[in-house]
Amino acid sequence: MNSPYKSRRAFIKKTIIGSTVLMSYPWLEALANESAISMSAANKVRVGIIGTGSRGQGLLYNLLAIETSHNIEIAAICDNYEPNYQKAIELTHGKAKAFYDYRELLDIKDIDAIVIATPLHQHAHIAIDAMNADKQVFCEKSMARTLADTKRMANTHYETGKILQIGHQRLFDKKYLDAIDYVRSGKIGNVTQIRAYWHRNNDWRRPVPEGKPELERKINWRLYKEYSCGLMTELASHQIQVANWVKDAQAVSVIGVGGINYWKDGREVYDNVALIYSYADGTQFIYDSMTSNRFYGLEEQILGDKGTFELEQNKMYSENPPQPAGILQLVNNIEKNIFEKIPIGGATWIPETALEYKGEYITGDFDVNETGISLEVFVDSVRRGKPTPGLFEQGYHASVWTLLGQQAMETQQKIYLPEELKI
């Protein structure tokens, strides 16, 4: 079958092979060097999916799309919420074995790999049980609810030698890959600040079935501290991973504030956060997220002394933009002289507002399903039987600094990386 993923993958391969910088990332090198997949039954990768809510279903769709081309089989699904359980059976046409208890799924000996897309607080014990049951694991981000859980997962990963890939899909996004390549080659000069934000304007609630208030915490788990750190683990973790990746380092400290200033509806997690992560070379990563205004949306901005990237927008801005043609400048000046008003009062200085400059695209073709690619990489590593070097660490550090950020906000203190969390 000629899957659409195949051509996308070929495209990624082309990108990676052309860059010595990107080839230095082991997970990309593995992707570039992938050999032909044997279609024999013996070479089939049997996958179980635990947690088939919205994200789990998304991953299931992606896996079904590569089922034939990558010789995999969705062998089992598991969810303890009936509508999700039924939906997963429907999507797999009843072929996959279905369970309410993940432990029964882990008991199936010939399942090679597990995909975990449960609420955050369940990631750790399921992933640890899966690795101990000799399964390879793909776990959705963020990695875990607590720092202790994050470390326990890491320990189990290293002790068992099992794969533990965290679903940070930007690691496989072409515009991010090209931007990282440019950062390393000095195209935007010395990166001294990174800014990121994720703004939404909604209550983040999912409807609870009428007459079943007991399901509130199960369905809206993102809003309760027992299960989630809200904006930090669900959104910021993506962008913290990007910041660490851009700097090719971890932060050394974090300060932050957060609170509930708008959605006073019984939720426990913050509805707005603002943090500053500092790196050893003095670079600051300034982050904020909110749920009461979506004008600025979502962005990661990489600021260097020669240029700026806006990664989500796929844009690159030079500090010295290319000069327009002389005649355009002349006409522009004439226009200004005729139509511009002469101020007779007000400020006596010219405000340093942003340049009106549309920039250039980082990459021309960025229509790549990065979640699909990340799952392909996972399946490839399952087939090889060993983790792809470097990939787990990206997820681990993102999780650790996400949770340290939460800690900084809760304690109102500057937080450093504790010795015991170093790997």
Binding-site ranges for another protein (CB under 8 A): 323, 325-331
Q: Please, what is the minimum distance in Å from the beta carbon of residue 223 to another protein?
A: 56
* Residues 98 and 52 sit within 8 Å (Cβ to Cβ): no
Q: How, if at all, do strands 72-78 and 191-199 pair?
A: unpaired
State which residue, 207 or 322, has the beta carbon closest to another protein: 322
Q: For residue 202, which phi and psi values (nearest 5 degrees)?
A: -155, 165
The torsion region of residue 390 among left (phi > 0), alpha (psi -120 to 50) and beta comes to left
Packing angle between helix 391-411 and helix 147-160, nearest 10 degrees?
Answer: 160
Instruction: Identify the burial level of 101 via C-beta atoms within 10 angstroms of its C-beta, where 0-12 means exposed, 13-18 middle and 19 or more buried.
Output: exposed
**Which residues are 76's β-sheet partners?**
48, 97
- How far, in Å, are 27, 157, 159, 174 from residue 16 at the CA level? 11, 27, 31, 9
State which residue, 202 or 323, has the beta carbon closest to another protein: 323
State which residue, 323 or 337, has the beta carbon closest to another protein: 323
State which residue, 211 or 326, has the beta carbon closest to another protein: 326
State which residue, 18 or 324, has the beta carbon closest to another protein: 324
State which residue, 280 or 330, has the beta carbon closest to another protein: 330
* Residues 16 and 23 sit within 8 Å (Cβ to Cβ): yes
Q: How many C-beta neighbours within 10 Å does residue 58 have?
A: 14
Q: Give the tokens for residue 212.
A: 């079943």
State which residue, 10 or 328, has the beta carbon closest to another protein: 328
- The H or E element that residue 72 is part of is strand 72-78
Q: Please, what is the minimum distance in Å from the beta carbon of residue 318 to another protein?
A: 17
Q: Please, what is the minimum distance in Å from the beta carbon of residue 362 to another protein?
A: 26
State which residue, 215 or 331, has the beta carbon closest to another protein: 331
State whether the Cα torsion 49-55-61-62 is positive or negative: negative
Q: How, if at all, do strands 253-259 and 72-78 pair?
A: unpaired
Q: Please, what is the minimum distance in Å from the beta carbon of residue 322 to another protein?
A: 10
Q: Please, what is the minimum distance in Å from the beta carbon of residue 357 to another protein?
A: 17
Q: Please, what is the minimum distance in Å from the beta carbon of residue 332 to another protein?
A: 10
Q: Please, what is the minimum distance in Å from the beta carbon of residue 119 to another protein?
A: 59
* Residues 92 and 63 sit within 8 Å (Cβ to Cβ): no
State which residue, 36 or 327, has the beta carbon closest to another protein: 327
Instruction: Identify the burial level of 129 via C-beta atoms within 10 angstroms of its C-beta, where 0-12 means exposed, 13-18 middle and 19 or more buried.
Output: middle
Q: Please, what is the minimum distance in Å from the beta carbon of residue 321 to another protein?
A: 14
Three-state DSSP class for residue 166: strand
* Residues 303 and 346 sit within 8 Å (Cβ to Cβ): no
* Secondary structure, 3-state, 196-219: EEEECECCCCCCCCCCCHHHHHHH
Q: Give the tokens for residue 325.
A: 């043609």
State which residue, 43 or 329, has the beta carbon closest to another protein: 329
Q: Please, what is the minimum distance in Å from the beta carbon of residue 323 to another protein?
A: 6
Q: What CA dihedral angle connects 101, 107, 108 and 110, to 10 degrees?
A: 140
State which residue, 146 or 318, has the beta carbon closest to another protein: 318
